[in-house]
A = this chain, B = another copy of it.
């Protein structure tokens, strides 16, 4: 079986501005322009894993996009209400710039809309975490924009088109996206790390493109604490080809070793196994 099973949507698990409901105003700028941000969070034993990191990402995103900040206390309280009494689950929080008139210019009176939804924990074939995944190099590139790079904003058509490049019948579990210069930016839904032959844990710089997920930050911090040499810089396909180990990560899947990129083959090595242990220890 080569596909994730997404359980059907539970009903009554969506809240808009704190009120149960699953509809938004059509004039919300999140819909009109993709004018907003999101985070996808893991629930474990009634708590949100790496909650502070997710909240920091949202606050930084609001600052960079000039979206009015939502009080952290309010967000934390709504997240915790949605997570408590859940052993396992996924929370997705969208913050938009709120409703507005026609026209790109934000109103000075804009107030953010909060859209929180809870989803069942997805079941992936266990082999993906254990024995690794097959990856495609996508034809769809990740465009450069310094103002947007790193943010998990709602303009995600590039990732949608990249995921359209392979089908259910292909034995492909993730796609790697490059920029126009041929540098690796990340997976369509993951960040990527490479353990290079000279003993450096490398991940692409996201200064010009890409999404800086919280698990990327957590792994970099743990690696530095462990005294490992890390590198955040442009990562070429040539370096990837010669890497000793490669893995991808996000908050929900954790860490999947990459065992094939097209015809290039990789072993699942001890560095990847060590990172998986760190990631399972996160709280």
Binding site for B on A (CB under 8 A): 4, 6, 9, 14, 16, 22-35, 38, 40, 65-66, 90, 92, 94, 96-97, 101-106, 115, 117, 119, 140-141, 143-148, 153-164, 180, 188-189, 209
B-chain residues with CB within 8 Å of residue A4 when the two chains form the complex:
103
**Does A24 lie within 8 Å of B24, measured CB to CB?**
yes
- Which of the residues B29, B141, B159 comes within 8 Å of A33, measured between beta carbons? B159
Q: List 21 A-B contacts (CB under 8 A).
A: A6-B103, A14-B26, A22-B27, A24-B31, A26-B117, A27-B117, A30-B31, A31-B115, A31-B154, A32-B38, A34-B155, A34-B157, A35-B156, A65-B161, A103-B189, A104-B189, A106-B160, A140-B147, A141-B146, A154-B157, A155-B157
CB nearest to A156 among chain B residues:
B33
**Does B106 lie within 8 Å of A164, measured CB to CB?**
yes
**Does B94 lie within 8 Å of A32, measured CB to CB?**
yes
B-chain residues with CB within 8 Å of residue A66 when the two chains form the complex:
161, 164
**Does A154 lie within 8 Å of B32, measured CB to CB?**
yes
Q: How far is the CB of A211 from chain B (nearest CB, A)?
A: 12
Alpha-carbon distance A224/B16, docked complex (angstroms)? 51
B-chain residues with CB within 8 Å of residue A160 when the two chains form the complex:
29, 33, 35, 65, 97, 104-106
Alpha-carbon distance A158/B163, docked complex (angstroms)? 23
B-chain residues with CB within 8 Å of residue A156 when the two chains form the complex:
32-35, 104, 155
B-chain residues with CB within 8 Å of residue A143 when the two chains form the complex:
143-145, 148, 209
B-chain residues with CB within 8 Å of residue A94 when the two chains form the complex:
26, 31-32
Closest 10 CB pairs of A and B: A34-B34, A143-B143, A155-B155, A23-B23, A33-B156, A143-B145, A105-B163, A31-B31, A104-B163, A104-B159
